[in-house]
Amino acid sequence: MSSFLTDLRYAARSLKRSRGFFALAVTILAVGIGSTTALFTLVDAVLLRQLPFNQPQRLVEIWGRNDDRTGMRVPGVMLDALRSRAKTLGPIGTHDPSGGALRTPEGAVDIRGQTVSANFVDVFGVQPLAGRGFVSEDERPGANAVMLVSFSFWQQHLAADPGALGRTVYFDDVPYTVVGIMPPEFRTQFVDRRSWFWTPYAGNRSRERERELGYEVVARLASGATLDQARQEIEAIASTIQVEGWGRGGRRLGLVPLREDVVGNRAYALQLLLAAVALVLAVACANIMQLLLTRSDAQRREFATRKALGAPATRLFRLALLESLLLSLSGGVGGVVFAYWLVPMMVILAPRGIPRLTDAAVDGRVLAMAVVTSLLTACIFGVAPALRMSHLSVTEMMKPVLGVASTQRARLRSALLVLQVAAAVALLALAGLVLQTFLTLFPTSPGFVTDSRSAFVWSINQRQFPDASDRRRRVNDWMERLRAVPGIVSVATASGMPFGDDEPRNIAVRRPDDANPPGQTALRSDLRSVSSTYFQLLQVRLIQGRQFSPADRADAPLVALVNQTLARRLEPLGNVVGRSIRIGNAANSPVVDIVGVIADTRWWGMTLDPLNELYVPLDQHSASFGFLIVHSPLGVAEVTAAIKRTFYAALPGAALQPEWQAVPLDDMITRSVAGPRFTATLISAFSAAALMLAAVGLFGAVAYSVTQRRRELGVRVALGARPGDLMITTMRSAVTLTAVGIASGLAAGAFMTRFVKSQLYAIDPLDPLTFTMAAAIMLTTAAVAAYLPARRAALADPMQSLRDE
């Protein structure tokens, strides 16, 4: 043990004497290990951590599906059949989104939660932290309304009161009794951290509604049952149930593990980025190995003396390896510090919708991974130099270093250099492809004006305000109050907003006298209700006819506006003003007159052609949710405060979610490309890091070559060689190796494109220009990195070079 400590102190002193080498090596390792640690933190939070349930691997989600779509609700009759007949499933529960106004001392607050079946706790296998779960009596029609609350709900809305159990809270003015508090880690939604609650169906308005629309079903596999067995059984049960639209050629039941349903393919970008950062770490390891091989040449005589004095090969190996371990652990510490800074930046940059991403934190699991990574990297780059120093003979160790580089060492250095260049080129090519996708998707002309305009999501609880005409009146009153606020230029509202992430209301559009057309032949359009000021506020161009006016009230003739795309499909000549259309397939669907055509706008980014868009006046439509669009030079905080103040004045007792804020339209557009931006930014950063490391490796390789050939170069100068010839001679090997690395990198990049193909849009995965640019960037960087030491060698004093040993 004492000899080990002695060797450790010696390794530390040796590194202390080489401060420049130590600083460079630790910086390189900190970049590689820090990037890897940060990406692992995200991957761990999203993909690796178990869901916060008992035996989560046995939980499954049951959906309806067809050839085009999955995620459909399960009809109530099928749910009953599964509960009574399925042998491969244990408890089968349901969970459906819910929400409403929670009465608090500060006013009503909009809170989101879930309506669940009474066996909710049994299905997920997590007992309340305090209180009880639901029982079958809680689900009985007419039973007293009860509620399970999340730990954060208990803290925020019940003041963390230990006596909160049994307290009555008013939700949509209905008294609910709090019967249990769930543990802090328990969640059934994973995209955000909102305060959640759970209520059974009894005493809830959605009981009949959900029975009609269907349920979101979660179940636990029975003991000994497999996924395949359960999947086959539920398909067989469903085939015996007669439900319209289900069965042969229609919808059918599907089953997936709950974890797969939660994560889906939304974390694919993280897996891709983890592979990219692994390449950066490989380049860093190759770079450090190259530096250590160079350093070992300077230590040859010292190690030769130790061996001559009787030090065994194992002791010499340990001495050399300890230096690598100290370097790697120091780099690991720097990497963890770097990761602490990098993780929050990545979370901010990441697109919304990646589940559990907000849970990402550098914790004990991540620190353990960082330590393991540091030790592995030490072994990867430290073993080769250590073996080399321990196996050389005393005679060979005592030889001068200059001019005697072995073929084996030269090949190893060349292989390391080629590896660094190849990895950098492959990452540059992938970064170029993803970056072009991001630039292609970014909408340069969405078809409307965004300057000084922001949007605010709103909803009105129909249980509080059941009359549609009353809701419309209150919304108009809200907008009038807001227009009167100093600094507010204009206000409009719409049931849907460009780039607003809202689901389209796809509806059939046909001639009034057409019989019900088959679904596959009906012309379908996205339907939006907007206020009369909507198009003026966004400055959407009017092509034909007129826009909406305040005269288009509920008691006036029904009118509509269409965009150019829908106008062309309704009438090839585009002259649709004055034409009547029926909205919907039902015989009693409303008939509207088209009074104008507006220019196409982008709703979903630049990946799709403009949609068919049909607009109806807000005053002729139900107003219960949508976007408020505000034109104002005021800041976001001031606009938000004015919106909320006037909302509560126009709708007393209504509630808004506290975290809702006005969002500038420019930010909404930027969010629409958050996924490609996230991938493009990080891959570009990783490729830049790999390029920098490869440049350092090339610089070091040429500088080392110059050091070895000082005498040869001095003789050449003495014999009349020109500086230009010396530079060519010195750089030739580096350029050759760079060319080999570039060719290897291009081949590797072409192979890796199959893994990013789904992330690309409107670009060939083997785009020649992108790969040519990657090669050119690498070649230019290599030329600069090799030129600097070569120029220095060419201008050196030949007499000084000849005197050096």
pLDDT at res. 483: 92
Kindly state whether residues 489 and 472 are assigned to the same domain. Answer: yes
- Tell me: pLDDT of 709 over 90: no
- Statement to judge: residues 525 and 559 lie in one domain: yes
Contact 179, 148 (CB under 8 A): yes
User: 464: burial class by Cβ within 10 Å (0-12, 13-18, 19+)?
Assistant: middle
Q: What is the pLDDT of residues 42-64, one digit of tens each?
A: 888 888 888 888 898 899 998 88
Least confident of 95-104, 134-143, 293-302, 419-428: 293-302
| Same domain, residue pair 786 and 796 | yes
Final residue before a domain boundary, out of 657, 672, 687: 672
Of 672, 688, 703, the one marking the end of a domain is 672
Mean pLDDT of the region 672-694: 80
pTM of the model: 0.74
Give the percent of the chain with pLDDT over 90. Answer: 9
Q: Are residues 658 and 562 in the same domain?
A: yes
Q: Phi, psi (5° rounding) for residue 166?
A: 90, -5
Q: What percent of the chain has pLDDT over 70?
A: 77
Distance CA 451, CA 669 (A): 12
Q: Regarding predicted confidence, which is higher, 126 or 400?
A: 126
Helix (H, G, I), strand (E, B) or coil at 670: helix
Q: Judge if 48 and 142 occupy the same domain.
A: no
Average the pLDDT over each of 20-34, 82-96, 293-307, 651-665 and give the range with the smallest value: 293-307
Task: Note whether residue 81 is domain-resident.
Answer: no
Region 356-380: mean pLDDT is 81
pLDDT reading at 381 higher than 80:
no
* Per-residue pLDDT, 724: 63
Name the burial class of residue 651, with classes exposed (0-12), middle (13-18) and buried (19+) by CB atoms within 10 angstroms of its CB: buried
Contact 128, 181 (CB under 8 A): yes
Closest CA to 423 of 279, 287, 286, 281: 279
Residues 708 and 666 placed together within one structural domain of the fold = no
Whether the Cβ atoms of residue 601 and residue 498 lie closer than 8 Å to each other: yes
For residues 196 and 284, membership in a common domain is answered with no
Coil, strand or helix at 706: helix
* Averaged pLDDT for residues 436-456: 78
Same domain, 659 and 707: no
Domain count, the chain: 4
Q: How confident is the model at residue 488 (pLDDT cuts 50, 70, 90)?
A: very high
Where does a domain end: 221, 252, 277? Answer: 221
For residue 491, pLDDT over 90 is answered with: yes
**Which amino acid is present at 362?**
V
Whether 498 maps to a domain, the answer reads yes
What is the span of the domain harbouring residue 306? 1-54+268-399
245 found inside a domain: no
Residue 394 has a pLDDT of 54
Same domain for 605 and 728? no
- Whether residues 471 and 427 share a domain: the answer is no
Task: Please give the residue that has the higher pLDDT: either 687 or 407.
Answer: 687
Q: Which residues pair with 459 in a beta bridge?
A: 625
Is residue 255 in a domain? Answer: no
Within this chain, do residues 666 and 681 fall inside the same structural domain, yes or no?
no
Three-state DSSP class for residue 397: helix
Per-residue tokens: 542:
């009017």
Mean pLDDT score, 393-402 = 52
pLDDT in the model for residue 758:
67
| Same domain, residue pair 581 and 632 | yes
Structural contact between residues 596 and 646, judged by C-beta atoms closer than 8 angstroms? no
pLDDT at 68: 52
pLDDT at 786: 74
Give me the chain's average pLDDT, please: 78
In a domain, 71, yes or no: no
Closest CA to 766 of 779, 748, 778, 780: 748
